[in-house]
Amino acid sequence: MESQRQRLLRAMTDECAERGFAATTAAGVYQRAGVSSRAFYENFKDVRDCFLAAYDASVGLTLSAVAAIDSPPDPLSQFAAMLERYLDLLQSEPAIAKTFLVEVYGAGPAAIERRLEVHHRFVAALEQTLGAGRDLTDADRFAIESLVGAVTFHVTARIMAEDFRGLPSLRDPLLAMSCRLCPWLAPASERSR
């Protein structure tokens, strides 16, 4: 059974996705969650505090989903599996996608700082995945960070256009781009092209 806190977090996500962070109110959140104002303020000090908690929960969900893949044999296949899982999650959870990739920027400095921390966490995770068995240079690290930025940009653009069904179609172009940015990932037969 879902706790009051969990219902409030889901309600925050849905309110932000529907109304935008600027128009989200505590009353809207606790009414959507079907709990009292008292329950809201027992769990959170204000709307921003609730938003940050919901953001952290969505990041946890995303990291769990991506980490749950079986380890494919090579870095490119592992990245492909991670990317596919990420895109599928965002497609199946449009409120999470919209709230935490678009509305996060309107939620103030603490939310933006959290968003940057998550970006750096994904960069570090991808460095481990794509750099497996390789001593990464500064240029390699920059390429991987650029790849994460490109994934974020293209995914966010689809979400802003409310093209959630189109998210999985980003997989192949992003994989092709990963091989251009990180040439050591491309199959040996394609490296000389």
The 10s digit of each residue's pLDDT in 19-29 is 999 999 999 99
In a domain, 74, yes or no: yes
pLDDT value for 189: 59
Cα–Cα distance measured from residue 161 to residue 95, given in angstroms and rounded to the nearest whole number:
13
**Average pLDDT of the chain?**
92
In a domain, 4, yes or no: no
pLDDT band at 5 (very low <50, low <70, confident <90, very high): very high
The pTM of this model reads 0.88
| CA nearest to 60, candidates 18, 114, 104, 98 | 114
Domain holding 72, by residue range, is 55-185
CA distances from 117 to 43, 50, 103 (A): 24, 18, 16
In a domain, 42, yes or no: no
What is the total count of domains within the chain? 1
Cα–Cα distance measured from residue 85 to residue 79, given in angstroms and rounded to the nearest whole number:
10
In a domain, 162, yes or no: yes
Contact predicate 28/14, CB 8 Å: no
H helical segments located in the chain: 4-19, 26-33, 37-43, 47-67, 75-92, 94-101, 109-130, 138-160, 171-181, 188-191
pLDDT value for 71: 72
- Residue 163, pLDDT > 80, answer yes
Give the mean pLDDT of 94-104: 93
In a domain, 35, yes or no: no
In a domain, 73, yes or no: yes
CA distances from 86 to 18, 80, 90, 113 (A): 22, 10, 6, 22
- Residue 59, pLDDT > 60, answer yes
Long-range contacts of 164-167 (CB under 8 A, 24+ apart): 164/90, 164/91, 164/94, 164/97, 165/91, 167/87, 167/88, 167/90, 167/91, 167/97
In a domain, 84, yes or no: yes
In a domain, 71, yes or no: yes
pLDDT value for 190: 61
We report the CATH number of the domain holding residue 92 as: 1.10.357
